[in-house]
Amino acid sequence: MGDLNSSVAGRKRDHIRIALGGDVVPPRFRDQFDEVVLIHEALPEVSFSDVDTSIDFLGKKLSAPLLVGAMTGGEAGTDIINANLAEAVEELGLGMGVGSQRPALMDPSVEYTFRIVRDRAPKALLLANLGGSNVFKMKPSEIRRAVEMIGADALEIHLNMLQELVQPEGEPDFRGLEESLDAICDEAGVPVLLKETGSGISMETAKRLEDKKVFGYDIGGAGGTSFAVIEGKRRDDDLALPFFDWGIPTVASLLEVRSVSDKPIIASGGLRNGLDAVKSLVLGATVASMARPLLRPATRSSEDVKRVLITVQKQMRMGMALVNARNVGELRKTKYVLLGSMESWARQRGLVTSAPRRGLARKKSGLGSGALSDPGSGKCTTVAQSFPDFALGYFAYGYRPPPRPEGRGSSSFRHAVTASCANGKPINKSDKFK
């Protein structure tokens, strides 16, 4: 363990240092997006130049459904990271979140590390950020101050029980948050999203929240940056070790939440390239979000951040062209197959029923023309049955993926992209074969 900072700002500094310094993604769900295979269209009715990734979200027009996830602010030096991210998203017509603003509510002298985001991105979509373990104890004026500090378009409340349990200065007590949510939504003055930070959101939780005034979810699933790992590295003991890969993987969390809710969903947690983002949208996300892959570039320059985001956007357009989607609406109708552990998850959680070995037949049901049925049971084999738009998943029966030689997924291209994003370098052909 390094020198542990126990002040809020010092803790933020530790997070950045550890996230920049080492591997903070446990292997278990690292390759979950490889288990989502989109059905290729060999005869697309689309020209690459016509693919339109733009969407409207939270009152803003985004050039693509892509955000930079909440990371930092609250300490001298973090303003540079936030400024570089903000300049990049402003120029590219995207959006971003800031890290928890509690340090600035406690010490107004560091407000500038957050304010700089709106200064550098006057038009971009910006998300304010407060912690679930303390937001419901705050005065309405403090919540509004966080929103006004960056002229936010929405407020994210982060849910991080695992982190609170593991971090030496944690506050692992969320009692009272759920019943306060409607009041917080009224007080915030902007739409409020609930954001997990690496453990995902289940369908049971989303169902319970369906009637709340919460605008939507940032599912923050497992498989990306793990705060159990980050906080574990700040400790002297092995307390966090068994929980490094705790949580609902992002792919599964998307299917879970979309199966019970039609509220907007931000997909985050382990997205590492534009194809992961495209897959997230097919699975039901409204917008995709990446955090740590942008951190290293953001310590350098806005140009470096832009280079990564431009590559991700191009990969999104490539993925859309390959499934014959001219726009994001068409993309959502894409068919897909789940493999391995994600297929098993979907089945065990009742998101699909087992497809029969042969004779999958389309059933003209009230569930949308894409719904499949199992003639044996008469049950629909769709994901998200109440959402025909997304209810187009096809599932392989009994499929087992081939062994992975490197134990880290089957796609060398994915690795090249991941490494490239992490390094902030553009992807080129030679990377593919590293």
Cβ atoms within 10 Å of 141's Cβ, excluding its own? 9
Q: Does 292 bind ligand FNR (CB under 6 A)?
A: yes
Residue 163 binding ligand FNR, by CB under 6 A = no
219 vs 383, beta carbon nearer ligand FNR = 219
Q: Does 11 bind ligand FNR (CB under 6 A)?
A: no
Tell me whether residue 400 is exposed, middle or buried, using C-beta atoms within 10 angstroms of its C-beta: 0 to 12, 13 to 18, 19 or more.
Answer: exposed
In angstroms, how far is CA 79 from the centroid of its own chain? 23
Task: Work out whether 306 is an interface residue with ligand FNR (CB under 6 A).
Answer: no
Cβ-proximal residues to 381 (8 Å cutoff; 6+ apart), any chain: 352, 353, 354, 355, 360, 371, 372, 373, 374, 395
Roughly how many angstroms between the first and final C-alpha of the chain, as a whole number?
Answer: 32
Contact residue for ligand FNR among 51, 58, 66, 70 (CB under 6 A): 70
Which of the 8 DSSP states describes residue 225? Answer: -
Q: Rounded distance, CA 297 to CA 424, Å?
A: 5
CA angle centred on 266, ends 262 and 267, rounded to 5°: 110
Q: Which is nearer to ligand FNR, 229 or 323 (CB)?
A: 229
Position among 8, 9, 19, 331 found at the interface with ligand FNR (CB under 6 A): 19
Binding mask 381-410 for ligand FNR (x = CB under 6 A): ------------------------------
With a CB cutoff of 8 Å and minimum separation 6, the contacts of 110 are 9, 73, 74, 75, 76, 103, 104
- Given 9, 51, 71, 351, the residue binding ligand FNR (CB under 6 A): 71
Residue 30: strand, helix, or coil = coil
222 binds ligand FNR (CB under 6 A): no
Distance (Å, whole) CA 421 – CA 43: 31
Q: Which is nearer to ligand FNR, 100 or 133 (CB)?
A: 100
Helix ranges restricted to H, 107-211: 112-120, 140-149, 161-166, 177-188, 203-209
Q: How far is the CB of 75 from ligand FNR (least distance, A)?
A: 12
Binding mask 107-126 for ligand FNR (x = CB under 6 A): --------------------
Find the residue with minimal CB distance to ligand FNR: 224
> Which residue number, 20 or 241, has a Cβ lying nearer to ligand FNR?
20
Q: How far is the CB of 159 from ligand FNR (least distance, A)?
A: 9
Based on the shown chain and the rule CB under 6 A, indicate whether residue 224 belongs to the binding site for ligand FNR: yes
When asked if residue 274 is in the footprint of ligand FNR (CB under 6 A), the reply is: no
Report helix, strand or coil for 270.
Answer: coil
- Which of 184, 192, 291, 309 lies at the binding interface for ligand FNR (CB under 6 A)? 291
- Closest among 227, 211, 262 to 131, alpha carbons compared: 227
Write out the H or E segment, with its range, that includes residue 267.
strand 265-267
- Cβ proximity to ligand FNR: between 68 and 320 the closer is 68
Give the C-alpha separation, 324 to 78, whole Å.
41
CB 252 within 8 A of CB 201: no
What single-letter DSSP state applies at residue 36? Answer: E
- Closest to ligand FNR by CB, 268 vs 280, is 268
| Of the residues 84, 113, 129, 385, which one makes contact with ligand FNR according to CB under 6 A | 129
Q: What are the backbone dihedrals phi and psi of residue 95, each rounded to the nearest 5 degrees, phi first?
A: -145, 170
Cβ 265 to ligand FNR shortest distance, Å: 13
Q: Does 195 bind ligand FNR (CB under 6 A)?
A: yes
The interface with ligand FNR within residues 72-101 (CB under 6 A) comprises 72, 99-100
Q: Measured from the CB atom, is 195 or 263 closer to ligand FNR? A: 195
Question: What is the smallest separation between the CB atom of 249 and ligand FNR, expressed in angstroms?
Answer: 11
For residue 8, the minimal CB distance to ligand FNR (Å) is 10
Contact 248, 267 (CB under 8 A): no
Binding site for ligand FNR (CB under 6 A): 15-16, 19, 69-72, 99-100, 129, 156, 158, 195, 197-198, 220, 224-225, 268-271, 290-292, 295
